Structure 1
Amino acid sequence: MSETVKAPIATIKPTILEKHGDKRTDNYFWLNQRENPEVIDYLNKENDYYNAMTASTKQFQSDLFEEMKARIKEDDASVPYLYNGYFYITRFETGKDYPIYSRKKGSLEENEEILFDCNELAKGHSYFQLGGMSISPDNKFATFGTDIVGRRIFTIQVKNLQTGEILSDKIENVTGSSVWANDNQTIFYTRKDLVTLRSDKVFKHKIGAVENDDVLVFHEKDETFDVSVSKEKSRKYIVILSSSTLTTEFQILPADKPDDKFKVFQKRTRGLEYGISHFGDSFYIVTNKDKAENFKLMKTPENATSKDNWIDVIPHRTDVLLEDIEIFKDYLVVEERSNGLHKIRIMPWSGKGEYYLPFESETYTAFTTTNVDFDTEILRYSYQSMATPSSVIDFNMKTKTKEVKKEQQVLGGKFDKNNYIEERIWATANDGTKIPISVVYKKGLKKDGSNPFLLYAYGSYGASMDAYFSSARLSLLDRGFVYAIAHIRGGEELGRHWYEDGKLLKKKNTFTDFIDCSKFVIAEKFTSPEHLYAEGGSAGGLLMGAIVNMEPQLYHGVIAQVPFVDVISTMLDDSIPLTTGEYDEWGNPNVKKYYDYMKSYSPYDNVVSQDYPNMYVSTGLHDSQVQYWEPAKWVAKLRALKTDKNILFLDTNMDAGHGGASGRFEALKEVAKEFSFLLDLEKIKI
């Protein structure tokens, strides 16, 4: 990397921020002015600096990109699934970045009908995403949403699948998803607040009508709730879901009666979470009712849905987290998590002969996928591990036989999963808690402290970061890297308590868990501080910001993707997307005890004059979840205060949002940047 280029220095313009009598000076508050040319100029200068400093690695980045791309089957297709008389397929063509959605009537031998070729729709746009495709019950129309900015604001349109015509209906500023009533004329959709981007309204639209005629069906006025609309698998009910971190509320409407009023299923009660699935004359409910921390399964008659009528089907268990259910005509399928691992439980409605699918690895992920048909004995699920490519499996629940419909191909002829070792190891946290870590590395590795090691984690919102396969990751493993996922508190891998112990006033457990996992892999001689790297994105980027303030000497390098690092200012600004809905996760800083606790860990507020690791920070100008100015301000403050000569990069995608680039292979270019950062620090050039 070049040593001659000078890093840009952001202008200091002090802003005094006061709350609870506490004054904070934010020297870079001005960077939140997205339309200010001075802000754009600064971001461009940071990009220029990154490009100049990494000029010597550009060819390596290109080689890495081609290497990773070469492992991917370009002319790939999903496993078809049958829905309402048609087989639906998503496929890719060689040399093209975007998917093609198609279907075949009745048989896979029939002619293909192309529904949407996203390569055509994306022409002229630097970013494109199609979402929320929904087919009318008579199979004649499709609604679909498009986003051409990356801010997750969609426009819904309607396509006549018989003529290919795009109808005049155009519904803007929406989430992109929509649901058909059974009359083939009415759709329900959700609209976003244009300031906060909170999904807060459900509208009803009649095909052919102008948008101004749409009827407001429901307005979610509580700013801590988001709203969505969907259709039950039975196709009998349309449901509205209002959800916050701790509370849910459903409303139901017979899909045959779109002009009737929705009825509340069970009114919201703070702390009561539930999810519903309709079957026969009943609803099955996954819920935490009666202090069922790990959730249980209950049922209720469809005409008596309040919680007073709910009865237990699967009682609460302290050692098993009930995650979801899938209902079939003859079987109930239950997705559970025990000791941090997925379990799939098959329960015949007859009550006889229930069993679990057998899984042998300790670093795997298994979950049900597309199961849209009630009347079948076939369960479709996905399986993968750190060393085993993802596969889609059809399992016959009656005969207990399985058919692998597809295993992800790793092209190039060099990949053999037997060349890699995967294991689950357990670190001990500072409070004695055992933290699982999923690890994968190439055979022959010596545990002598000299191995480069990339440790990844997330640790928020109860989102479990399960062991998964990545063909791109092979570019690190084959060059001697160890890769690991730390299943730290704040996720839900070991049950609901795992989440509760890593949020609000226990948030610091997330950070100290990661640090203790880092110390453990060093103590076990997997690596050393000279070769240990950390990676996290979004709330995982907050984790990165916290650990480099707390224990910077543990890491040689850190990758922070779209990092949420300015916790207090963001959580005090209720005009920013997501803020009000997050109080149950982080706390409300308008309350002093939460303000004080946030201030004690907020990465931006805790940058000090000390040595920091080498750091690569990425963001998107149009990010709707973590605004670009959080990483921009953080990097500016780090530049001003850090006492080392290590690398610090801010790389802003000026065309994309939270998810990064939209093209299938464009995203690999971002991975190539990250990998080249790591490999260059390790002086690995091949």
Structure 2
Amino acid sequence: MTKHSNVKPPIAKKIPHHLEKHGDLRVDNYFWMKDRDHPEVINYLNAENEYCDTQMAHTKGFQKDLFEEMKARIKEDDSSVPYKYNGYWYITRFEKGKGYPIYSRKKDSLNNPEEVLFDCNKMAEGHSYFKLAGISVSPNNKLVSYGVDTTGRRNYTIHVKNIESGEVANDRVLHTTGSSSWANDNKTLFYTKKDEVTLRAYQIYKHKLGEKDDELIFQEGDDTFGVTVYKSKSRKYIIIACYSTLTNEYHILNADQPDGKFEVFQKRVRGLEYSISHYKNHFYILTNKDKATNFKLMKCREEDRKINNWEEVIAHRKDVLIENIDIFKDYLVVSERSNGLNEIRIKRWDGTQDYYLPFDNETYTAYTGTNVDFDTELLRYGYNSLTTPSSVIEFNMRTKTKTVLKEQEVLGGKFKKENYTSERIWATAEDGTKIPMSVVYKKGIKKDGNNPLLQYAYGSYGSTVDPYFSSVRLSLLDRGFIYVIAHVRGGEYLGRQWYEDGKLLKKKNTFKDFIACSIHLIKERYTSSKHLYAMGGSAGGLLMGAIINEAPELYNGIIAAVPFVDVVTTMLDDSIPLTTGEYDEWGNPNDILYYNYIKSYSPYDNLQSKAYPNMLVTTGLNDSQVQYWEPAKWVAKLRNIKTDSNKLYLKTNMDAGHGGASGRFESLKEDAEEFAFLLDLEGISS
């Protein structure tokens, strides 16, 4: 089939809208796209979808082949490694030909009959989007609470089901995060409610089974904070967590006394971050107290929680970030990061053992897994690398012996990990900082500048993209692509300072780091600008928007997924989900200092009349994180302003939100479309 080069792209109408702040006037011609219920907005999104489909029609067969190829590597009749909790083994499994999980359990032994808790395939019938979340079983094992979202907007309705009878109670709670926690009386549930407009999680309610009216327990008055509620692993406490980018506060209640009063653990102090875990008669506190940038571990007695009485357990180290702890009856397990690499440290409470698990390369990911059992010497952890599929490993902390419980199967018979090579390389940023990259490619590739290369990064919120295995990615690697994860500042790959150096008034470091990595990859002849592609989603989509304004000539193609590109306008609109909670990440543009800085990089505000790379931009109509109108406006303005004849496509999923399509294999269709876009630019069609 020939390409439809004569088909004209949709041109959005312009209605000038004046936005004034700090005496600065911005004119937004596409502000009208914010009205999601207006027929013209829906018509425009549909027209863009039609244009994208028409222009990519010649790749439809290839997309289908890619989808089948990706799907064929995945074991369809698969199940998770069972874990034991409160007398039952819990299992998540998939059946062949079905797109959603089945949640089940077996009492005492895995040889006993299966009780199906939820068959999401049946529950999803009649819905174009379906997501089950927050499964929580009551202490007596008879009831289960759960949340359902059928729009993709992460707005869940909580239900309660009687496991024995299968009957779903009339108790129904709307506008929640989906998760809930049982008190030890088996009839009281604590849950988090969202603001119906901003979707900020801001209230904690108490629900008694069968009762009509729920009691408001806690309301967060500071709109830069969110809240959640959960139960401690020791099962002794119900805990309310209040969180913002820079500050935490916890409230605790004995789970045996659901009608008691929550007590503040340590009241919020701006800049004090902490999290709590309960063990015996102590709380263990992971905190940045006293300028512990990379965090330290402290403890206090249950009845004496004053901050001055916190005792140090593991001191702060400048070169090691403490990310998490897992508490067991006889062991403390500490998840750390040193020089970018995951480390798992195991300490006996009695001091007789203190050692690290051995890992042997620079492009792996290791993390502690589902460890709900308190009284055990067995640690579950996960391991994978750019060339090694995921494994779930059970490690005996006393004997130091390990058992691989499951290794991800890559079906099809073609994959052999020894056919691929991974490495870690470093670029030098504009300010002299060394920026690490994790690289993977098929063995035998020559570094002659002719390889197609996909460079990926996120780079915000301290979120670290570790080098992980992807069977989907093999469809690029096997066709000659090199894949690179750039560990730019704004993530926490090299510790907490790495994050601090890529946010607020240092945000541009994220963009400069990514460009420095691209320049290094071209200089070292991994690729050339004719064959270099970049991809990022959400805040990583902001990164894509910034780099094409700054250095469009470096890239042949860009994939921007659900991109956060209209930064100034969004951060000035406190009715939009997430805005107020993000002031400590991006800055509050109501302050002229932050206004000017954000405006200087905001992709939408900095588009210019020049040539841009080929681009595929994706979004979801129901996206609650990055509203659909940001990418829609960005593409409309780009069409109007750019001077090139390169491809520019906007694809809107009219049924889904920030995470894309629901269902196990539906998202692979989106992957196949994105890969087909890249491969088509390289002239690869099979």
Output the TM-score relative to the length of structure 1. 0.99
Q: Show the counterpart of 2:45.
A: 43
Match of 1:152 among 149, 154, 161: 154
Q: Which amino acid aligns with 1:274?
A: Y
**1:8 and 2:10 equivalent?**
yes
Q: Which amino acid aligns with 2:35?
A: Q
* Mapped partners of 1:381, 1:57: distance in 2: 41
Aligned positions of 1:283-298 closer than 5 A: 283-298=283-298
Shift of 1:359: 0.3
Shift of 1:306: 2.3
**1:103 and 2:105 equivalent?**
yes
Aligned positions of 1:171-182 closer than 5 A: 171-182=173-184
* Mapped partners of 1:304, 1:6: distance in 2: 70
Q: Show the counterpart of 1:246.
A: 246
Q: Which amino acid aligns with 1:551?
A: A
Q: Show the counterpart of 2:578.
A: 578
**1:683 and 2:676 equivalent?**
no
Shift of 1:208: 1.2
* Mapped partners of 1:63, 1:305: distance in 2: 60
Q: Show the counterpart of 2:557.
A: 557
* Mapped partners of 1:565, 1:100: distance in 2: 38
Q: Show the counterpart of 1:256.
A: 256
**1:202 and 2:204 equivalent?**
yes
Q: Which amino acid aligns with 2:685?
A: K
* Mapped partners of 2:440, 2:133: distance in 1: 34
Q: Which amino acid aligns with 1:424?
A: R
Q: Deviations over 1:3-54 (max 9, x none)?
A: 1110000001100100000000101000111000000000000000001001
Aligned positions of 1:347-366 closer than 5 A: 347-366=347-366
Q: Show the counterpart of 2:185.
A: 183
Shift of 1:352: 2.0
Q: Deviations over 1:140-194 (max 9, x none)?
A: 0000110000000011010001111111111111110000000001000000000
Aligned-residue CA RMSD (Å): 0.5
Q: Deviations over 1:250-279 (max 9, x none)?
A: 000000000001000000000000000000
SS in 2 for 1:471: coil
* Mapped partners of 2:352, 2:523: distance in 1: 50
* Mapped partners of 1:81, 1:451: distance in 2: 44
Shift of 1:309: 1.4
Q: Show the counterpart of 2:164.
A: 162
Q: Deviations over 1:470-516 (max 9, x none)?
A: 00000000000000100000000100100000000000000000000
Q: Show the counterpart of 2:70.
A: 68
* Mapped partners of 1:552, 1:272: distance in 2: 40
Instruction: Extract unaligned runs of 5+ from structure 2.
Output: none
Shift of 1:389: 0.3
**1:496 and 2:496 equivalent?**
yes
Aligned positions of 1:522-541 closer than 5 A: 522-541=522-541
Aligned positions of 1:613-652 closer than 5 A: 613-652=613-652
Aligned positions of 1:296-445 closer than 5 A: 296-445=296-445
**1:126 and 2:139 equivalent?**
no
Size of the alignment, in residue pairs?
684
* Mapped partners of 2:437, 2:51: distance in 1: 36
Shift of 1:241: 0.2
Q: Which amino acid aligns with 2:119?
A: D
Q: Which amino acid aligns with 1:20?
A: H
Q: Deviations over 1:107-140 (max 9, x none)?
A: 0000000000000000000000000000000000
Q: Which amino acid aligns with 2:91?
A: I
* Mapped partners of 2:43, 2:111: distance in 1: 56
The runs of at least 4 aligned residues of structure 1 exceeding 6 Å deviation read none
Shift of 1:542: 0.1
Aligned positions of 1:232-243 closer than 5 A: 232-243=232-243
Shift of 1:353: 2.5
* Mapped partners of 2:432, 2:613: distance in 1: 28
SS in 1 for 2:68: helix
* Mapped partners of 1:544, 1:126: distance in 2: 30
Q: Which amino acid aligns with 1:94?
A: K
Aligned positions of 1:448-467 closer than 5 A: 448-467=448-467
Shift of 1:2: 2.3
Q: Show the counterpart of 1:663.
A: 663
Q: Which amino acid aligns with 1:625?
A: Q
Shift of 1:305: 1.2
Q: Deviations over 1:193-234 (max 9, x none)?
A: 001000000000011112xx1000000010000000000000
Q: Show the counterpart of 1:673.
A: 673
Shift of 1:343: 0.3
**1:84 and 2:86 equivalent?**
yes
* Mapped partners of 2:647, 2:594: distance in 1: 34
* Mapped partners of 2:135, 2:333: distance in 1: 26
SS in 2 for 1:333: strand
SS in 2 for 1:568: helix
Q: Deviations over 1:47-94 (max 9, x none)?
A: 000010011000000000000000000000000000000000000000
Q: Which amino acid aligns with 1:627?
A: Q
Q: Which amino acid aligns with 2:195?
A: D
Q: Which amino acid aligns with 1:680?
A: D
SS in 1 for 2:460: coil
**1:142 and 2:144 equivalent?**
yes
SS in 2 for 1:631: helix
Shift of 1:319: 0.3
Q: Which amino acid aligns with 1:101?
A: Y
* Mapped partners of 1:304, 1:19: distance in 2: 49
* Mapped partners of 1:329, 1:476: distance in 2: 46
Q: Which amino acid aligns with 1:589?
A: P
Q: Show the counterpart of 1:590.
A: 590
Q: Deviations over 1:621-664 (max 9, x none)?
A: 00000000000000000000000000000000000000000010
Q: Which amino acid aligns with 2:187?
A: Q
Q: Which amino acid aligns with 1:365?
A: T
Shift of 1:361: 1.5
